C-alpha cells in the first residue's frame, strides 16, 4: 500500500487517523488544474478507505448507475464495507488493523464468521467480536477506549458488538472529500 505518512502529508490531512501522520507538516501545493483537483480528491478517498484502483472503479461504476446523487452513493457504499464498520465501531484502532481482524476471522456478522473486508453490511446487521478474540487486550482497549459519535451506528459495550442502524447521510460521514470532483473525473 505504500508509505502512509508521506501520502498524508501530500494531501495535507490525516487520512489514516494516525497521531504521527502529519508530524513533519503538510506539503504546500501550487496552483492546480481542474483535473489535478479531481485526481487529488479521488486519491484522497482511496486512501481513506485503503483501496486500490481496480476495486475503487467498481464502486464508482456502481454509484454512477444507481439512482440519486452518485457522489453520496459512492461514499455510502464505501462506508458500509465490513472493514470500515469494524473501524468505526472501534474494534480496530486503524482501518488496516480492522481489515486484518476481518481477514483473520475475528469478526462475526449476525453470528456467522465473515472474513471478506469488502462484505456489504446491511441495515440491522449485528457486527461482533468472536468470543475467543474478546480476551485480547488490544481489542478490549480499542473498543472501550473510544466513544461512538456516529448516528448511523449503535455500540453495545457488554456484548462487544454494534449494529448498522441506517445508511449514513453524506454529512454524517467523517471524511474531508469533495465527492462531486470524483464523479466528474469518472464521468469523462
Kindly state the percentage of the chain with pLDDT values over 70.
89
> Domain range spanning residue 19?
4-77+176-187
Q: What is the pTM of this model?
A: 0.86
Q: Is residue 183 part of a domain?
A: yes
Shared domain for 42 and 98, answered yes or no, is no
pLDDT in tens, 127-145: 999 989 888 888 888 888 8
Question: Residue 121 sits in a domain of what CATH number?
Answer: 3.10.290.10
Q: Is residue 56 part of a domain?
A: yes
Q: Is the pLDDT confidence value at 160 over 70?
A: yes
Shared domain for 124 and 86, answered yes or no, is yes
What is the average per-residue pLDDT within 56-66? 94
Rounded distance between C-alpha atoms, residue 129 and residue 87, angstroms = 12
Shared domain for 95 and 66, answered yes or no, is no
* CA distance to 16, 43, 68, 77, 150, per residue, from 89 (Å): 16, 25, 27, 17, 9
SS (H, E, C) 38-55: HHHHHHHHHHHHCCCHHH
Q: Is the pLDDT confidence value at 29 over 90?
A: no
Closest among 96, 68, 73 to 83, alpha carbons compared:
96
Shared domain for 151 and 183, answered yes or no, is no
Tell me what pLDDT residue 28 has: 65
Per-residue DSSP letter, 169: P
Q: Is the pLDDT confidence value at 169 over 70?
A: yes
Q: Is residue 110 part of a domain?
A: yes
pLDDT in tens, 103-114: 999 999 999 999
Q: Is the pLDDT confidence value at 24 over 70?
A: no
Closest among 125, 113, 111, 117 to 154, alpha carbons compared:
125
Shared domain for 67 and 85, answered yes or no, is no
Q: How many domains does the chain have?
A: 2
Rounded distance between C-alpha atoms, residue 16 and residue 7, angstroms = 9
Query: Residue 155 is inside which H or E element, if any?
Result: strand 153-156
Amino acid at each position: 500500500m505504500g508509505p502512509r505518512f508521506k501520502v498524508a502529508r501530500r494531501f495535507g490531512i490525516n487520512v489514516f487517523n494516525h497521531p504521527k501522520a502529519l508530524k513533519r507538516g503538510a506539503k504546500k501545493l501550487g496552483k492546480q488544474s481542474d483535473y489535478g483537483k479531481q485526481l487529488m480528491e479521488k486519491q484522497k478517498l482511496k486512501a481513506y478507505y485503503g483501496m486500490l484502483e481496480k476495486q475503487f472503479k467498481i464502486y464508482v461504476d456502481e454509484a454512477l448507475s444507481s439512482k440519486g446523487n452518485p457522489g453520496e452513493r459512492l461514499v455510502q457504499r464505501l462506508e458500509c464495507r465490513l472493514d470500515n464498520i469494524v473501524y468505526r465501531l472501534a474494534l480496530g484502532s486503524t482501518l488496516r488493523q480492522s481489515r486484518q481482524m476481518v481477514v483473520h476471522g475475528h469478526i462475526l456478522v449476525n453470528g456467522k464468521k465473515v472474513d471478506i473486508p469488502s462484505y456489504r453490511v446491511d441495515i440491522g446487521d449485528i457486527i461482533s467480536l468472536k468470543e475467543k478474540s474478546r480476551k485480547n487486550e488490544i481489542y478490549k482497549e480499542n473498543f472501550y477506549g473510544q466513544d461512538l459519535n456516529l448516528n448511523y451506528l449503535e455500540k453495545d459495550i457488554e456484548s462487544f458488538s454494534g449494529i448498522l442502524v441506517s445508511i449514513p447521510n453524506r454529512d454524517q460521514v467523517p471524511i474531508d472529500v469533495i465527492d462531486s470532483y470524483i464523479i466528474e473525473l469518472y464521468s469523462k
